[in-house]
Amino acid sequence: MNLLGCLALSRSPETGTWYRAIQPQFWQTSLTTTQTKVLPSRFNEGNVARPQFEVLYLAETQMVVMFEVQALFGSPTQPGGVIANPRRSWTVINVQVQLQDVADLTQVSQQTLLATTAQELTGDWYGYQQRSALTSVTHPVGTAPTQALGAALFAVSGLEGFLTLSARLPYHKNLLVFPQKLRPGSSIVFHDPATGQQYMIAPPPP
């Protein structure tokens, strides 16, 4: 992967409704992302990242976000269809996004700049933390390519987030936002229809 290509990516605004799945007990902190600084994920090493950074994961449809959090299993395009995970409850919220500077890694032209592919962007990252001398496959370990990419994108001046392929349904999109990098005029908002309360991620103070 060519991480220097991050500096050459095309960038554009992103405005609209995206979706986030939360467990009911976290309703009051539905847009909180502080935990992502320590928990590894596809584009973030978590507590071993230097520097540590926060990321908000969103999906383009309610179905996609339920697959992303493994509330649904199977495939909507295969015989047998979709099976719900009965072990945990999830709630999907509508999130209004207004961003000014977003890269789009779903475009093949942008993947070419990074010397990556849809397969690499959606592939194994978890195994990099799980393989060891005690497993039958011992390598590779350490930083997954997508985690290195996430850190490189976070380091790009002015970039507020990026679009990528869903790892669970790779014909759909995810939007990953860097909350710490929102520009003045950008925002992430969830309006609770039951209480009228508004939850917002706003730009950090100057």
Per-residue pLDDT of the chain (206 residues; tens, 9 = 90+): 999 999 999 999 999 999 999 998 888 889 999 999 999 999 999 999 999 999 999 999 999 999 899 878 888 877 777 877 878 889 999 999 999 999 999 999 999 999 999 999 999 999 999 999 999 999 999 999 999 999 999 999 999 999 999 999 999 999 999 999 999 999 999 998 888 899 999 997 77
Q: Is 57 part of any domain?
A: yes
Domain range for residue 70?
Answer: 3-201
Q: Is 206 part of any domain?
A: no
Q: Is 90 part of any domain?
A: yes
Nearest to 96 by CA among 184, 202, 196, 191: 191
Q: Is 112 part of any domain?
A: yes
| 105, containing H or E segment | none
Other CB atoms within a 10 A radius of the CB of residue 118 amount to 15
Count of structural domains, the chain: 1
Helix, strand, coil abundance in the chain, percent, nearest 5? 25, 30, 45
Q: Are 30 and 190 in contact (CB under 8 A)?
A: yes
pTM exceeds 0.85, yes or no: yes
Residue 87 is predicted with a pLDDT of: 82
